[in-house]
Amino acid sequence: MSKIRVYELAKNLGISSKKMISILEELDIDIKNHMSTLDEDIAKLVEDVVDEEKNDKQKRIKKDFKKVKQEPSKGKTENKNKKDKKTDSKGSGGMDRRVILPDKISVKELASKINKEPAQVIKKLFDYGVMATINQEIDFDSASIIVEEFGLKAEKEKNIVDEEENMFDIKQPDNPESLVPRPPIVTIMGHVDHGKTSLLDAIRETNVTAQEAGGITQHIGAYKINVDGKQIVFLDTPGHEAFTAMRARGAKVTDISVLVVAADDGVMPQTIEAINHSKAAKVPIIVAINKIDKPNANPDRVKQQLSEHGLIPEDWGGDTICVPVSALKKQGLDNLLEMILLVAEVAELKANPNRPAVGTIIEAKLDRGRGPVATVLVQNGTLKIGDAIVAGSAYGRVRAMIDDKGERVKQAGPSMPVEVLGLSDVPHAGDLLYTVEDDKLARQIADKRKEKQREAEFKASHQKVSLEELFNQIEKGEVKELNIIIKADVQGSVEALKQALERLSNDEVEVKVIHGGVGAITETDIMLAAASNAIVIGFNVRPEGNARKVAEKEQVDVRTYRVIYNAIEDIQLAMKGVLEPKFEETIQGRLEVRAVFKISGVGVIAGCYVLEGKVTRNSQVRVIRDGVIIFEGKVESLKRFKEDVKEVTAGYECGIGLEKFNDIKEGDILEVFVLKEVRES
């Protein structure tokens, strides 16, 4: 006797898998999910039920059609009633009798609102003993009296800023008739080096991994693909445990989690974290068992480990879909995509494109040429060019939108990822982005949020803290909180570091990140650190010239890192009192690149001006562009005119060649330094 899966039968009969499951439940047929198999006789029974329902539906449609033909005027009567009702709230001639007034308004603006000449308003005010000029502001009470004098009704403008939470209620239900199907948002999750990005590369046939430092994804991305006319949006989240915050954020905006587990490695700590995040967000999980092409691959062992964490594979009698794949050989990808679309179909994902847009900031950065750039995943409504928007303490107007293929688009509907240009500042990853009525309201909301943020950040200053002295101060009971300021190249890294460092809190001391931002470490950051007794941590960024001098003056401990593990380890060791720095960095000088020369057989030479200090031939150097480190290495050659020299001091020009690096641009800053070993005393 032949068997058929539930979803295959649904496809054959032209109905959804969800509808098929409800029919089977009504017939008291025991199934687990859409992957369950049905015998031939049960399949025939279901076919008869579906046919019968289709016939009943056709009869109902005919009956309703006859009813409409008999009552042709009903729709017109309803429209007339609506029109009459609308007219009731207005006075003669259809003019709205209500005038909305703010707390304060100028005489000129008030006259404009009530369609009167300013002189008439000034005369009325004079009658009440109020002397006012055309540009003078009057309060609501005075304005309301004047409005009523002209036979209108004054109403106080609601403080929209205070009511922003009510105004931006994304949970507010849409009319079911306005909802349309939307693409599923899928998060790729799993342990580091299990092939998450490689799997996504294989699906969208591009190479992201090659662009990432060390092959590890450190920034979140969103990509849209087409499968047989249907769209799927993928979120690629980083693998290292320090990026738990970013994975959690991915799970919050996602509909389906694809958990990638290497067949030769099995379930690892970050795999378990990913499972927990998905379960907490109540997101269905599809397991992609990757690297099945490897000789030591053992999919059954992976399934056994998954079952220990509550994910029972469907072929073992559970409800977790497990798909064997090979990102390298591109095996099993079609099956994986089919399963994603199947789960999405059962979930009946819908959104209303005809409402103000609401989305989530997936990533945000400061671009040298374009200003603040935010990757937004639109969740409901449609985002259009020219819309006034607010995201966290950033506001603006949508100046341009670029999709995941680098093409400019005029609008972005539900489940569409786009880069948005036009914000005033770099928002935080995870912030909700809303469209609002106008720029003024957006600015009001953003300013209020900034004010709250400032109040939280600035605290009374007290004794300065450094990592070297941290343990001693903890022992004396002087430090109950370790305040940290984080600056990084992108917002995602800020969130990740914040999450990782705050987890280091213990009974003696609470690690608290009081501020995080994108870009170089500035004087403002140093002054905030000085006032709050905080340590500044830079990830892939450096302090500006003046910021470094202020830090020395204010005795603020500034630490910079290229690898996230090192930052976490340093704080851990400092809290235990075993921090022993092996090397001390000394900044020798700073140079500005003012010209770039390409010389055949030699490479690229940077024509530089020494801003401060000096540069020597044995110096190590880092290239800083817009406050972000883009290279760290050695000075290969140093020349004055055509002569090789040992060093060049401040105020002079020189030519510098860097070892194994040619991507130098005008405006880059070269920071030269030496590392000296610190011997134990």
480-508 pLDDT, tens digit per residue, is 778 899 999 888 888 889 888 888 888 77
Separation of alpha carbons 287 and 425, rounded Å = 39
Give the mean model confidence (pLDDT) for residues 260-282. Answer: 81
> Does an H or E element contain 164, and which?
helix 164-167
Q: Which residue has the higher pLDDT, 421 or 473?
A: 421
Q: Which region holds residue 517: left if phi is over 0, alpha if psi is between -120 and 50, else beta?
A: beta
Separation of alpha carbons 123 and 130, rounded Å = 9
Separation of alpha carbons 60 and 333, rounded Å = 43
Asked if residue 528 lies in contact with residue 534, where contact means CB atoms within 8 angstroms, the answer is yes
* Per-residue confidence (pLDDT) for residue 534, from 0 to 100: 85
Torsion of CA 465, 468, 474, 480, to 10 degrees: 30
| Burial class, 588, CB count within 10 angstroms (exposed 0-12 / middle 13-18 / buried 19+) | middle
Contacts of 422 (CB under 8 A, 6+ apart): 389, 396, 397, 398, 399, 400
* Per-residue confidence (pLDDT) for residue 457, from 0 to 100: 57
Give the mean model confidence (pLDDT) for residues 573-586. Answer: 66
DSSP-assigned states of every residue in 512-564: EEEEEEESSB-HHHHHHHHHHTEEEEEESB-B-HHHHHHHHHHT--EEEESSH
Using a pLDDT cut of 90, give the percent of the chain over it.
19
Separation of alpha carbons 367 and 491, rounded Å = 12
Q: Which residue has the higher pLDDT, 312 or 237?
A: 312
Task: Please state whether the predicted TM-score (pTM) of the whole model is above 0.95.
Answer: no
Asked if residue 512 lies in contact with residue 481, where contact means CB atoms within 8 angstroms, the answer is yes
Contacts of 292 (CB under 8 A, 6+ apart): 263, 299, 324, 325, 326, 331, 332
Q: Whose structure tokens read 């079952």?
A: 307
Asked if residue 252 lies in contact with residue 157, where contact means CB atoms within 8 angstroms, the answer is no
* Per-residue confidence (pLDDT) for residue 195, from 0 to 100: 81
Tokens of 656: 């510098």
Q: For residue 134, is pLDDT > 50? A: yes
Q: pLDDT tens digits, residue range 391-446?
A: 988 999 999 999 888 889 999 999 998 999 999 999 887 788 989 888 888 888 88
Q: Which residue has the higher pLDDT, 168 or 645?
A: 645
* Per-residue confidence (pLDDT) for residue 487, from 0 to 100: 92
Torsion over CA: 280, 281, 283, 285 (sign)? negative
Tokens of 447: 């300013």
* Per-residue confidence (pLDDT) for residue 369, from 0 to 100: 84
Pairing relation of β-strands 603-616 and 620-625?
unpaired
* Per-residue confidence (pLDDT) for residue 219, from 0 to 100: 52
Asked if residue 397 lies in contact with residue 215, where contact means CB atoms within 8 angstroms, the answer is no
| Mean pLDDT over the full length of the chain | 80
Contacts of 647 (CB under 8 A, 6+ apart): 614, 615, 616, 617, 638
